[in-house]
């Protein structure tokens, strides 16, 4: 990336300069956890490429458990349904990132289902999407469809990468907080990514730090009802620097979770992330606190060192 194509502020100070960003990424990689994370990322990317064509079949997919009978459920699913039937049946909508499709959520969908959630939907939006605002308006239609079909006035949304930014715009700028109880973002460039300077089109210009889109998102948000959970990682090779996946906004109730050694594509398959999302969505009261455990760990295959911070 030619240095002259980067805005001056990107090279201002050791923490924000290109050398500082590169050094931080190398430091994250050259640890046992970082190396293991890089290996997992490479493996999952290969598997995801194989699953990608299947994810193109149909515009949406649905996991829907009909009725409230518990006899046929395994213990891990039965636990949540017993503790909180409403939480178990609250719809969850999964939104993928740029040039991707719903196949990225293959593992996460299964993980949520195993932990007792009965209504999970994934949607595809066009890989030719060129405007976050337009995509957010389309997401609004999908959310309203789910609300109408299920009878639940508020649902949960999980967005990976750019999908989380689309959902954030919908929630904070298009009144989506009326229908979204909790928005979870995984590796979403909430503060932009310098990787967006490698390609010049209408969409990548929106994803650059300091763009007009981010200036709009930084504006005041009045009485937002949605609770936000934002996952970031120091090994994210798409959101650069990885810390830009943290959501910082004084008008929003945000729980930021920073992971060590997890690649961008691996965020939806990392066991600690899947379990963390499950625990958070098991039940959240009006203040955003989890009040019903109801979810059992299903054997963490991989542990990630996590540092958690909360901003209100």
Q: How confident is the model at residue 312 (pLDDT cuts 50, 70, 90)?
A: very low
- For position 297, what pLDDT does the model report? 34
Q: How confident is the model at residue 16 (pLDDT cuts 50, 70, 90)?
A: low
Is the pLDDT at 241 greater than 80? The verdict is yes
- For position 75, what pLDDT does the model report? 53
- For position 171, what pLDDT does the model report? 98
Is the pLDDT at 13 greater than 50? The verdict is no
89 within 8 A of 250, measured Cβ to Cβ: no
Largest CA distance in the chain: 64
250, burial (CB in 10 Å: exposed 0-12, middle 13-18, buried 19+): exposed
Q: How confident is the model at residue 57 (pLDDT cuts 50, 70, 90)?
A: confident
- Residue, of 79 and 163, whose pLDDT is higher: 163
Structural domains present in the chain:
7-311 (3.40.50.1820)
- Residue, of 175 and 5, whose pLDDT is higher: 175
Q: What is the pLDDT of residues 69-119, one digit of tens each?
A: 445 555 544 445 444 556 778 999 999 999 899 899 999 999 999 888 989
């Amino acid at each position: 990336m030619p240095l002259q194509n980067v805005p001056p502020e990107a090279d201002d100070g050791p923490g924000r300069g290109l050398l500082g960003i590169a050094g931080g990424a190398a430091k994250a990689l050259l640890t046992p956890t970082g190396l293991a994370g890089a290996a997992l990322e490479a493996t999952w990317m290969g598997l995801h490429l194989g699953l990608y064509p299947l994810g193109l079949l149909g515009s949406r997919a649905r996991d829907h458990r009909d009725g409230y009978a518990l006899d046929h459920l395994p213990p891990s699913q039965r636990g949540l349904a017993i503790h909180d039937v409403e939480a178990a049946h609250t719809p969850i909508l999964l939104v993928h990132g740029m040039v991707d499709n719903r196949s990225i959520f293959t593992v996460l969908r299964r993980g949520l289902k195993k932990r007792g959630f009965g209504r999970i939907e994934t949607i595809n939006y066009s890989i030719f999407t060129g405007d976050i605002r337009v995509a957010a308006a389309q997401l609004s239609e999908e959310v309203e469809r789910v609300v109408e079909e299920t009878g639940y006035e508020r649902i949960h949304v999980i967005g990976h990468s750019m999908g989380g930014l689309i959902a954030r715009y919908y929630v904070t700028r298009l009144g989506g907080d009326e229908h979204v109880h909790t928005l979870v973002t995984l590796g979403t460039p909430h503060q932009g990514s310098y990787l967006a300077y490698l390609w010049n089109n209408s969409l990548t210009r929106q994803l650059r730090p300091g763009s007009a889109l981010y200036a709009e998102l930084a504006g005041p948000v009045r009485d937002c009802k949605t609770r936000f959970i934002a996952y970031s990682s120091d090994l994210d090779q798409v959101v650069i620097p990885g810390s830009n996946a943290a959501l910082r906004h004084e008008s929003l109730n945000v729980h930021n979770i920073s992971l060590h050694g997890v690649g961008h594509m691996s965020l939806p398959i990392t066991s600690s992330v899947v379990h963390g999302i499950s625990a958070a969505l098991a039940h959240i009261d009006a203040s955003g606190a989890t009040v019903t455990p109801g979810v059992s760990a299903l054997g963490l295959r991989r542990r990630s060192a996590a540092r958690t911070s909360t901003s209100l």
